Amino acid sequence: MDVFLSPPAVLCCAGNSRESFFEAACRGDQGGIQRVVTSGGRAFLAGRIPGALPEAPELPGLAAPPEYAANTRIFRIAAAALEELRPSIEKVRNLYGAGRVGVCLGSCDNGTEASVPAHRAFFAGKGFPANYELRFQGASLLAEYIAGISGVTGPALTVATACASSAGALAKGAEFIRAGFCDAVIAGGADIVSDTVLLGFSSLETVSDTVTNPFSKNRKGITLGEGAAFFVLAKDDPGDSCGITLLGAGESADAFHMTSPREDGLGAVQAMQAALSGAGIGPGGIDYINLHGTGTPLNDRMEALAVQAVFGEKQPPASSTKPVTGHTLGAAGALELALCWMTLAKAPRASAQKDGKAAIPAHCWDGEYDDAMPRLRLGEKYFPAGSAPRTCMSNSFAFGGCNVCLIAGKR
């Protein structure tokens, strides 16, 4: 059973709508990557959303003081992104009823904006503030908030599997529908560039001092980012999907190491093969791969080996778009599936024109291949003239060996 995908809602440093985001990704516009300074004075390059974010709508039942949850940055980002999804949410809520629409959210944020000031007070000997509760630093709070402001009362679930979180949330949302728990699901992810995130990844020595350079022999590590992306998944086409569905989703858990990927890429291979099996297609049926492509030495090498193992010498064009967005952690899978959706939705318009070419999201790098790993088809800007891609694969490979592969396409 295919599950229909609504047009995505997107907010990140590369764009405040799906259209602007897709255009920036195809241009390879890295202007959203800027210098960010932590409260302690350390500077990093990061994909932080520019300007002031609108205040998040109040949700009386949430009972969370603004300084701890209700109007913190991650709530503002999620609420602002969801505005673009509101027409699709209203359609399925009217079609199925609020109780048949669920929420599946992916995020790495565990309420850091709420917990850091409260713990500072505690360790200063002042105790926790009177209006602070432990639940304010739980990842589930954002899913509860999204359900509330969207007016839906179906099951609400949070997936917190590091960089694969929102890809896993989309997979789980489709499972909710196929299992009959819901008729539609608001699914996606949101994450922020907080001091905790920047300093935490820096302590792992994985952050690059230049913009991330995935699959290059000169790669140094990741560039962090923030953002949100959401879809409405539905069992029927509400009329705005452009016929695009979630054809397949594959997950694996190789549990090789707490932070390092399994070196031979077996877990990634298993996730890609499971997605292909779920979609009922072979490797030759994939027209484009949005790579996880973090720019770390181990992750890129593992993914290149995995793609080679699955696709052999007949690989489709591929790119990592993290040099444009930064690595948005829990939001990355949904953001990158949004690019796949736009690639499919835009392609027929281009291919219908004389000598028209459908654009491929850019792979921004220095072009210096690493001969220690298989070469991928990186840097191609267009599909062949007159052709329209029908399937796109999106990879998300996370800490702890949590691997998710999603395939979007048209039958």
What is the phi/psi pair of residue 268, to 5°?
Answer: -65, -40
Catalytic status, residue 363:
no
Q: Is 292 a catalytic residue?
A: yes
Rounded CA separation 73/80 (Å): 10
Q: How far apart are the first and last CA of the chain?
A: 12
In the set 292, 364, 392, 405, the catalytic residue is 292
| Angstrom distance (rounded) from CA 13 to CA 268 | 28
**CA dihedral angle for residue 147, residue 330, residue 240, residue 94, rounded to 10 degrees:** -10
Residue 5's nearest CA partner among 177, 175, 183, 233 is 233
| Active-site residue, from 12, 26, 108, 163 | 163
Q: In whole angstroms, what is the distance from residue 211 CA to residue 193 CA?
A: 15
Residue 223 to residue 211: CA distance in whole angstroms:
6
**What tokens were used for 175?**
């499972």
Tell how many helices (H) and how many strands (E) occur in the chain: 11, 14
Paired residues of 402 in beta bridges: 253, 398
| Strand ordering across the sheet containing 224-225 | 33-37, 43-47, 224-225
Q: Are 110 and 138 in contact (CB under 8 A)?
A: yes
Q: Which of 327, 340, 392, 405 is catalytic?
A: 327
Q: Which distant-in-sequence residues (6+ apart) come within 8 Å of 175 by Cβ?
A: none
327 has catalytic annotation:
yes
| 32 three-state secondary structure | coil
CA distances from 262 to 57, 114, 160, 381 (A): 42, 34, 20, 31
Q: What CA–CA distances, in Å, run from 17 to 65, 241, 272?
A: 29, 16, 29
Rounded Cα distance, 167 and 230, in Å = 11
**Rounded Cα distance, 110 and 16, in Å:** 24
Q: Show which residues are catalytic.
A: 163, 292, 327
